[in-house]
């Protein structure tokens, strides 16, 4: 059941990144109307949340925490790269190395928050 949350967020991101960018002939939509700096800033919390959800779904008592961190990071950063390539195919959108960097920053922050929140808590199954 925990796997449905990160997958649902990934589907939502895919749908939102499928929205064409602004053009002269069509109306724009809320996210494409945002200033680029704000759009870029949203990558950090979004991918931080995605990383946190993957860690929450994957951490188990018998699994080494370091392996789980790397696996969740591979999934989340890999998805961020895939989504940037996907955006390159959407009219009015483009792929950005800056966005991949911001996604990765979000992954680091999400991992640190997960580790901090799970300190001393058995419900997160983090073994010391």
Give the tens place of pLDDT for each residue, 54-77: 999 999 988 899 999 999 999 999
**Domain locations in the chain?**
37-124
The residue among 1 and 78 whose pLDDT is bigger is 78
Count CB atoms within 10 A of the CB of residue 86: 16
Q: What is the pLDDT of residue 24?
A: 54
Whole-angstrom distance, CA of residue 109 vs CA of residue 82: 20
Q: Which helix (H) or strand (E) holds 26?
A: none
Long-range contacts from 28-35, C-beta under 8 angstroms, 24+ separation: 32/92
Q: What is the pLDDT of residue 38?
A: 85
Q: What is the pLDDT of residue 104?
A: 98
pTM score > 0.75 for this model? yes
84 — pLDDT class (breaks 50, 70, 90):
very high
Task: Supply the mean pLDDT for the chain.
Answer: 88
- Whether 114 and 55 have beta carbons less than 8 Å apart is answered as yes
- Whether 41 and 12 have beta carbons less than 8 Å apart is answered as no
Q: What is the pLDDT of residue 79?
A: 98
Whole-angstrom distance, CA of residue 99 vs CA of residue 87: 11
Q: What is the pLDDT of residue 90?
A: 93
Q: What is the pLDDT of residue 34?
A: 73
Among candidates 80, 70, 73, which has minimal Cα distance to 103?
80
19-68 pLDDT, tens digit each:
887 765 555 555 666 777 888 899 999 999 999 999 999 999 888 999 99
> How much is the average pLDDT of 109-122?
87
């Amino acid at each position: 059941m925990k796997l449905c949350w990160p997958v649902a967020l990934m589907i939502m991101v895919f749908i939102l990144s499928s929205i064409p960018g602004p053009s002269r002939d069509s109306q724009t939509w809320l996210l494409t109307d945002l200033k680029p700096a704000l759009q870029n800033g949203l990558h950090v919390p979004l991918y931080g949340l995605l990383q946190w959800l993957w860690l929450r779904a994957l951490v188990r008592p018998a699994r080494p925490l370091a392996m789980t961190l790397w696996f969740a990071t591979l999934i989340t950063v890999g998805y961020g790269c895939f989504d940037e390539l996907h955006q390159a195919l959407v009219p009015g959108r483009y792929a950005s190395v800056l966005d991949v960097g911001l996604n990765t920053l979000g992954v680091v922050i999400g991992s640190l928050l997960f580790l901090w929140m799970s300190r001393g808590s058995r419900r997160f199954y983090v073994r010391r």
